[in-house]
Structures are given as C-alpha cells and as structure tokens.
Structure 1
C-alpha cells in the first residue's frame, strides 16, 4: 500500500465504488476504505436501482451485474387495517433499455461494483473504520483509522446517511428526526415459479415494485415496500423518525402487522425469512443537503442526503451514481490544476447543479413537507376504501348516484381539507 494516495474514498457502497472506478480508470492512485467485512456487507437497502445513470458509465451493465429482476410492473396501494386499493401499471416501456430499473440485493451488487473499481486499479481495504480526517493548514489531507494515518490529496466521503465524518468536519449538523426515517426489512425466500405465479410475471427476468401507504406505517409518515427478486422478496416498512416517539406501534411490530395484512399474507405464504435488518433512510430532500465541498474533501451519495421520495417512486441509487460521477470529474480537474482548494473542488457543485440530481431535488423540494400531513396516511386511505366499498357492495338498500356517495365520504374528511391538500400536493409534485 502506498504511503500517500491521490484520493481516499470512505465507503464502498454504490457512490464510493463508482467514484473509485472512474478515478482509477484515469490512472489515479485510489484507496477505498470500507468499514464492513466486504462491500455491501452492511448495506440493507431494500432494493431498486434506476439504471439510467449507471448505464452511462458502464453500458449494458445489467448483462454482467448481479441484478435480480427487471421491473415491469408498478403497483401502489392505499391500505387500511382490513382493505387495500391498488393501482397497477404493467407496461413494456418500464423495462425498455436503457431506462430500465432493477431489483437488487446490495450485498451481492455492491461486491460486483467494488470488483469493477478494483479491476480498474483502485485498492479496496475492507474491515477498517475511519475515525477522523487529517486536516493540515485548513485542508483535509487524509484519514485516521485507529492508530494509522493515511495521507491523500483529496478525500471523498461516501460513508452513508449518518456520516459522522462530515459532522466532525462541520459540513453538516446532527441529523434531525424529520430528515430521516427508519427502515426495517426482511428478505423472504420463495421459489421462482411461485413468485412468478403470485405476481403474474412471465419469467424470472420480470419483476414487480410495490409501494404502500397508510396501514404499514401505522398512520405515521412512511409506508411499506415490496420488491421481487429472483428467488426472494424484499419486504419492509419505513417510518419517519419524527413519528416514532409517539407511535403506539413500534416499527418491528409495524412490519409484523404488515406481513399479516390480508393483501400481503397470501403473497409471502410458505416463505422463509433469511434476513432481517434495519437502517436509516435520508428523507429530507433538498433541505437536508449539507455543505458538499471543503478544501480537500467532497461528499457524495447518501452521505450528502441525495434521496428522493415522492410517494409513487423512491430514488437514491441513481442519484448516488450521478453524484459520484460529478465528484470524479471535479477531482480529475483539480488534479490537472494541482489545486485542491474548496474553490477548485466546487466544480463538483456546479456539475451537480447542471445534472438531474439537483434539478430533481429542487423540483420536489416541497414534497417532504407535504408528506408531514397526517391525513395522507390516515384519512385518505380510509376515504378511498369507503368509496370503493360503496361502489362495489350491493345489499339491496336504497342506492344513491355515485357522485353523492363520493361526496358523502369526502365530507367526512372535510371538503376544504381535500381541496387544499390536493392543491398542495399538485404544487409539491
């Protein structure tokens, strides 16, 4: 191992490995330090990758990467304790190259991506925790891991949502409860043919992505998710940290209740739980993004808060890839100029501003605040369920015109509430 490196990257997740891959390809001396025993060993993401940004870096990556299934079905459900109303979109366009998305198991996918970085020339050292950063004359000049100090010209922080290194550098504040959520997930093994039958999939290459609101998070800000893998399901619940302190249902119980729901239980019947995990999820959007650059250091991926949750789609991995690409480009330019100052590395911020990363984060900047409305997770799932009940239950009693049935249910929530929430939701999206 060299005594000094051009770049040290902390974290071998998607952002860290992509940055390492791109920089090593250009001949830089790159060290990637991973706290886990191997890349992906600590990653619990529950697991969908929108492939467009990775496709630009590794064309046709899905032909060699250990992806699980290509998503060809989108489902969204509003759930109460005893009902579910589901929107189902099944279309060939969802799986069309190069905009396809995939379910992934990060423990295997991250290992493949780290190997790509290693093959490009990066050195990857697992099982090491970085405790602090070396700072000389106001510039980050390496990392401190236990008793070892390893110097570098630039450090890239890709150490996840709870980046204590960024916090120690004063680049971001301590996480606030309304900025993050807790996700809890199970991997449930089922035979491929059973998954195909239960989700109406043609083969083991096709997959479904399913998001749920209402009952899964016990009426708190959050929801449920389900992704089909080749021979397993990723099933989980996410709940905002701010809602857990007064929730009568702890999040592990939320997952158990979710599994027992009349919609979910038949889908996981006879499945074997082979993994149970929990992790923090960035949920604050644009408002939680820290200072991204200082002299000698950049922040990428989840550590930078790059995640978008707009109810019908949850994105993080494609933003991680794009942020790592922008960081790599900024680092290469700084290397040519031999200038590692904050001003020089701010090219990273400029590149992000011109990419879909910041444009999308700005577009949906109001959505996290909109989602704090408790009616979204309590009143509206019940409202939709009640309307469906009145539409489809025939019991011989006096009938009403459909518009009157709907208005009777809307009045229970409050007409003005519905109108105002609709307008706010439209602006947030």
Structure 2
C-alpha cells in the first residue's frame, strides 16, 4: 500500500537507466517521473511533492568522481531537507558511499542494481517516513500538529519545550491567524496537567454582564435567568489549564476582578458568599503589542506581571519564508483528501505568487486560500489563477497619519505600498524608487 501511493523521481543521464527504472516501478508506485538533466531537479521538486528521489552520482562523462551526485543531493536538501534520496552509481567505492550517507542520503546502490534491493530500499524508506511523520512535524509539540522548520518557529518550539512542564503563567503575543491557540494547546499537552481539562474562553467577546458569570459561575437565582447553579470556567478547568484568548480587549473593571481571583487563588460565584479555591495553569493571548498593554489607561500593569511570567511571540507568516511552501503542501494534501481529489502539482506561477504575497491574515489566510484553490481547481495542477486571496485581509498601520517622525512616515509609506501591490516586493521596491535589497533592509529594520 505504501508503494502504491508513492511518487518517485528518477534522475540519470542514461536513457537506458531511466527506461529500466520506469518499467520496474510504474506498476508498483503511484507515479514515476524520469529526468535526464539534473538542472531541472529543483523546478521539479518545487512543482510536485515527491516521496523519494533516485539520483545518479555522475553526470559528467569525463570525470566520474561522484561529486556531481553529492552536489545535487545538497541542492535537494536545501529545498526540502526531509525529501529522501537514494544515490546510485557504477562506482562502488566505500568512502564515496559513506560520504553520501553523511551528506543526508538515505541509501546507496551500485549499478547494475538488483531490482529486489531497490524495491526493498524504497519500501523501507517509505515505512520510516510514515512512522516518523508525526514525530517529525511535532517533535516538541506533542499531540498538536504545528508545522514549521523556520528558525523563528524552532525558537518558539524550544521555548514551549522549556516552559510546558512548569506551572508558569504564559502570555502569547502575535497577530491574528498566527496560531496562538495551537501553541496554548501544545503547552497544555506537554505539561504535567495534560490529563486534566484544557478550557478556552474568548474573553474579548464577553460583555461586562456575562464576564463574571462565565468565568466564576453563578448560583441559582443570582439573576433573572439563573434557573440553576452553573460552574464557571475557572472551576471547569480545575487541575488543568485555562486559556483566556484576546485578554487585551477586556475592560479595566474586568481586569480588576480577574486580578483579584488570580492573587487570592479563589473565585466566588455570583449569588454566593462562599469562596472556591482554584487550581489552574493560566495561559493568555492577545493580538495587541506589549507596548499597548503597558499603557495603564488601557491595561493594568499589575495584571500584566501576573499573567506574563513567560512571554511567547508568535511570528507573522511573512517572517517564516521557509515555512510557506511547507504549510501550503500540508493544506493542499489535507483538502485534497477532504474533498476526494487526487494529488496536485504546483505550477511555477502558483509557487511564486505564494512566496511573494505579504499574508496579512497569516497562516489562517493561507489555509483558507488553499482550501478555495483545491475546491475550485479543474485539473490536478494548481495555477496562479487558482490562488485568490481574500480582500477582507488588509494590512493597517497603527501609526497616526499626522505624525512627523521620519522613521514612522517611512514605515507607514512602505506598509501602504506593499499592501497596494498585494505583497509583491519587486513591484513595491520599484514604486518606492529603491532596490529590492534596500527594501528588505528597511523591512528588517522596522520588524515588518
């Protein structure tokens, strides 16, 4: 079954080898793609998701050192470090085999190969990929699938690994759509409280009249519609984790009630005089900048200190360039299966449009755009036209128009031009009258 679902790429400059491989594998795997020119490898693996590449070691008829194979192996790993590669050559020196394995190859075969050996090698690699898939994608985030190989996400995973086993209160910062709720769940699932409840509350959506009853509960008759006793979310999360989302949107009065409960480690339901002890681990999240929270006219500093023992900043998708195609392949595969469609190839224009877009809606926007693309696609190739981004996601600046600060004016201008050009850096740089490199420097300077 593993073989039947596998896509294999074979790269060799010998037409006879390609023919032999195709005849051997075509009835055993889902698809075999053969290629004579190694210069086409990168475009092929960017367009289509392959499970294994069978790669010749030598493409130069005059010098057969195997270095060509090592070179292309490294190129493949730069694009997709998890793509499995089997190297194959007519020259079976032991040191070359050891070198190729050290460089990241999964196996090494000698021409003329034995068909049984090649099939067994492919099967073994596929088994390892299946068994290691969840572990690979969630080595730190047990139980919650969070995809990310970028340095910024690896830093987040490392912080989660360190803080999850503690009872420290956590504040997760980041724009909408960056996955703050997934990180909260991951912290719980990696904590000592993982077998106890994980209770999420969008406190920003609670009115002042609902806030206390929802969090602290109420007794029968406490107000007109209180027809029976009801536990609040603090009690529901007893022994586990309470996740308060959009904490930055609650009023000062609500903040005072929350602070009292956290300081005293007990809550009092509406209509009762009897305090109830609480035993929860608190995680909060907000899309507001920490500097906004620090404004005491909007948020109490003593509450910030109480909820922010450790702070996690979720990076926007535009700062996770290495993860965009990785996430795209994941969502395309997910929705292809959901909507009973075959696997998709990605056209160059589709990939370039993904990579150049600004993603103001972050991972959530990417997910919905790809779900739409899969639903609307007519064939098994996704083109640039299939990728449509929602107009509801607009990048807005929090900087006042009247500001006279030169850096803020420059930052505002850059944001507006990038938004106007739908995230296209080349067009934006041209319109701003600067080079792409200069624009990237400014984006880094302002943390955009």
**Structure holding more strand per residue:** 1
Above 0.5 in TM-score? no
TM-score (normalizing by structure 2): 0.22
Larger Rg: 2
**Structure showing the higher helix proportion among its residues:** 2
Greater relative contact order, per chain length (Cα 8 Å cut-off, separation 6+): 1
